Structures are given as structure tokens and as C-alpha cells.
Amino acid sequence: MKLTRILLLLPLAAFASCSSHPTAQPQGVEFEPGLMRLSGDIGFASNGTGLLDGSAAQFGGAFGYFATENLEAGLSGDFDSINITGSDDNLEYAGLNIFGRYYTSTYGSTRPYAELSVGLGTASIGPGEENVTAIIGSIGVMHFIATDWAIELELQKSEYLLPDVSGGDTGAWGGSVGLAWFF
């Protein structure tokens, strides 16, 4: 539970720390139309609803394209392993999402953002497999460690809709840490 609190508060702490030092170096890249981002992340979720009981390990990657200087759209892939109440099985979700991400003003080498993604995937529960719709809302901060490299800290709210399982809809709050490359 202590790890969960740390991961959930990490994006807020990073934002507060970075925004208080507006002259921090490096400044990072100037976002402009046509810029692309490739990233990967690892995370942890807890305190879910529905089938989720306790925790979930999350792994993901994304490719984004900047349509404007503040708006990025792209594809992301996720793999989540979710504990299920009263079962020895885990719900294992693998899916492909489309996302839109809006970046706010730059604070030194830090850019806060908000993201919404929707996707389709499959969930395996023991021997069974179900189609899943995922809806994920996120807020985060991106802190540049080099001109074209940044660390991403993100807080997410995920919902997984399992239409063929009675009471099977599940969701969680989670946090993740990732590395992004801009080109």
C-alpha cells in the first residue's frame, strides 16, 4: 500500500519540484507540428472496482504525432495483469488504444499534460478470453533530461468494460513512470 501511495503522488511531487525552478536545464524540445514521440512505461494500480482486488502491474508503449504545438495523437499498447477477488487467476489484459494528449505551458524543462485514450483488447481470465473496451484518463508531467529525452510521470484512471461477464466491469487508479524519445 505504501508503494501505491508513492506512485500516485509522484506526478504531483515532480510537478511541484520542477515548476519551482523555471531556469532548469535542459529546456527540452520545442513542440511543433510533425514532431513524433516514442515512449515506454511501467506502472502499478490499486484500489479498483468490480473484479479488481488489490493491485495491477501495467506495462505500455506509445507512438505519438504532434498535430499542433500542444496536441498529440497516436497509438498506445498496454498489458495489465490484474488480481481478481476470490480467484487464483489474474485478469490479463492486452490492448491497442488511440489517444489524444494536450500539453499545457512549459515550466522550465517540465511540461504538464492531460490524456484520454480509448481502446480495444482481450482479457484472459483463466482458460476464458473476453473482448474488452478500455477507457483511460490521465494527467502527468514530462521532465526533460536531455534535449530530446524526457521522463514521464503519470496518474491514470482506467476502466475496463467486459460486456460478456456479469459484474465484470473493472477499473483502477494507477501511477506510471516512463521514458520518452522525441524525433
- What was the pLDDT predicted at 67? 97
The predicted pLDDT at position 45 comes to 80
Predicted pLDDT of residue 106: 83
**For residue 39, what pLDDT is reported?**
97
Through-space distance between the first and last CA atoms of the chain, rounded to whole angstroms: 38
For residue 26, how many other CB atoms are within 10 A of its CB? Answer: 14
- pLDDT, averaged in runs of 10, over the chain (183 residues): 47 46 53 95 75 73 96 94 70 90 90 96 78 92 93 92 65 90 95
- The count of other CB atoms within 10 Å of the CB of residue 66 is 20
Whole-angstrom distance, CA of residue 73 vs CA of residue 117: 10
Looking at residue 20, its pLDDT comes to: 43
- Report the greatest alpha carbon distance in the chain: 55
Look at strands 110-125 and 71-84 and give their pairing.
Answer: unpaired
Domains in the chain, start-ordered, CATH in brackets?
A: 2-116+125-137+146-182 (2.40.160)
Contacts of 127 (CB under 8 A, 6+ apart): none
Q: Which residues contact 9 (CB under 8 A, 6 or more apart)?
A: none
pTM confidence score: 0.78
pLDDT in the model for residue 160: 79
